[in-house]
């Protein structure tokens, strides 16, 4: 995700001549390339192989289980693309071998100092450790709730100090399940208001536009003729395709529990994802741009119809697009408003 000085006319010319891939590579916009490797990664796919070279036809020397935390010691940007994704050739060096980056969420372990006072309506927080097992009561040995992951966002409504066990907890509220869970305060960062302000407020609303090319899995954003954002995405797979046409980002929420429980035809198709971050919805059926903590494989369809993005990219669109969501608001719905979205 970058902000190069390239006009929409120049961008379309590159598309028509087939030169887009080279231009994006030169601008380092074909994906959010890391200049240094992340220090840690969380395995998102159970059975993800470790190879002795950055290629799927290399020797497999180990298999990782889901949620295994690994140390990432290097990058190979020109490895073999895989799992049908022509746009992701990035591999991570792990444990004296190589693992395809699409199955590893880059994470950090950043413990936080507690905050004891919250605004009246609560405050948005994000998880800053690879994962955290919530509790159903604010005690260390209480029954476990669901697991939440690095970069996921949650609405904090109360701070609880347990003096007997010397622990501090944040109470997070799940608006879908209509109940609370509890998170150790050191696992969550409360997001300050200045991180939620509108980006490019000087740009006229009618000059902002989001464009999604489903063929190349490329999402771009323009202010008039100027390209201000570009990122590979993961749209809907066959059977749950992302709809084509013109839409608007008319309802938004910084944290949403996404699920298809009750709608899935097969049990294997059921998903329940608490704390999906930075959701900018553009249809009444629930299609949205949002962050994804359950994979890192952008550049091919992988979703149930939404447009998956890395969390920071989704956050950019959430802050940049209209309508502006106040920091004390967990959901905003304004039919007829929002930034124009063009999907083809």
Q: How far apart are the first and last CA of the chain?
A: 21
Write the CB contacts of 201 (distance below 8 Å, at least 6 apart in sequence).
none
State the pTM of this model: 0.88
Instruction: Catalogue all structural domains in the chain, each as residue range(s) with its CATH number.
Output: 33-107 (2.30.30), 123-191 (2.30.30.40), 196-343 (2.40.440.10)
User: What local confidence, expressed as pLDDT, does residue 95 receive?
Assistant: 87
Contact indicator for 81, 88 with CB cutoff of 8 Å: yes
Query: What is the pLDDT, as a whole number, of residue 268?
Result: 56
Looking at residue 178, what is its pLDDT? 97
State the pLDDT at residue 33.
Answer: 41
Mean pLDDT, consecutive 10-residue stretches, the chain (344 aa), reads 49 44 41 61 97 95 97 91 85 94 96 96 98 98 98 98 96 97 98 96 96 98 97 96 98 96 59 96 97 96 97 98 96 96 98
97-100 and 91-94 beta bridge pairing? antiparallel
């Amino acid at each position: 995700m970058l902000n190069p000085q390239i006009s929409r006319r120049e961008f379309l010319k590159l598309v028509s001549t087939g030169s887009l891939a080279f231009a994006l590579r030169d601008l380092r916009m074909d994906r959010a390339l890391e200049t240094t490797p992340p220090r840690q990664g969380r395995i998102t796919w159970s059975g993800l192989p470790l190879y002795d070279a950055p290629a799927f036809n290399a020797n497999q020397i180990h298999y990782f289980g889901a949620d295994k935390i690994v140390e990432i010691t290097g990058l190979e940007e020109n490895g073999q693309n895989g799992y049908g994704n022509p746009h992701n050739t990035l591999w991570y060096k792990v444990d004296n071998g190589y693992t395809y980056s699409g199955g590893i969420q880059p994470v950090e372990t950043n413990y936080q100092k507690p905050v004891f006072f919250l605004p009246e309506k609560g405050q948005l927080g994000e998880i800053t450790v690879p994962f955290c097992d919530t509790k159903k009561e604010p005690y260390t040995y209480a029954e476990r709730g669901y697991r939440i992951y690095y970069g996921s966002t949650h609405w904090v409504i109360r701070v609880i100090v347990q003096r007997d066990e010397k622990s501090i907890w944040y109470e997070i509220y799940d608006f879908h399940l209509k109940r609370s869970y509890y998170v150790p305060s050191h696992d969550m960062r409360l997001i300050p208001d200045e991180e939620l302000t509108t980006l490019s407020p000087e740009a006229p609303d009618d000059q902002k536009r989001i464009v999604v090319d489903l063929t190349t899995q490329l999402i771009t954003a323009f202010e008039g003729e100027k390209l201000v954002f570009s990122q590979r995405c993961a749209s809907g797979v066959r059977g749950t395709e992302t709809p084509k046409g013109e839409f608007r980002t008319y309802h938004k929420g910084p944290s949403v529990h996404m699920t298809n429980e009750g709608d899935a035809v097969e049990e294997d198709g059921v998903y329940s994802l608490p704390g999906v971050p930075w959701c900018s919805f553009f249809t009444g059926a629930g299609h949205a741009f949002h962050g994804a903590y359950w994979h890192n494989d952008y550049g091919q369809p992988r979703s149930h119809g939404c447009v998956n993005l890395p969390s920071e990219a989704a956050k950019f669109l959430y802050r940049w697009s209209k309508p502006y969501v106040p920091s004390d608001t967990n959901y905003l719905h304004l039919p007829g408003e929002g930034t124009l979205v063009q999907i083809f």
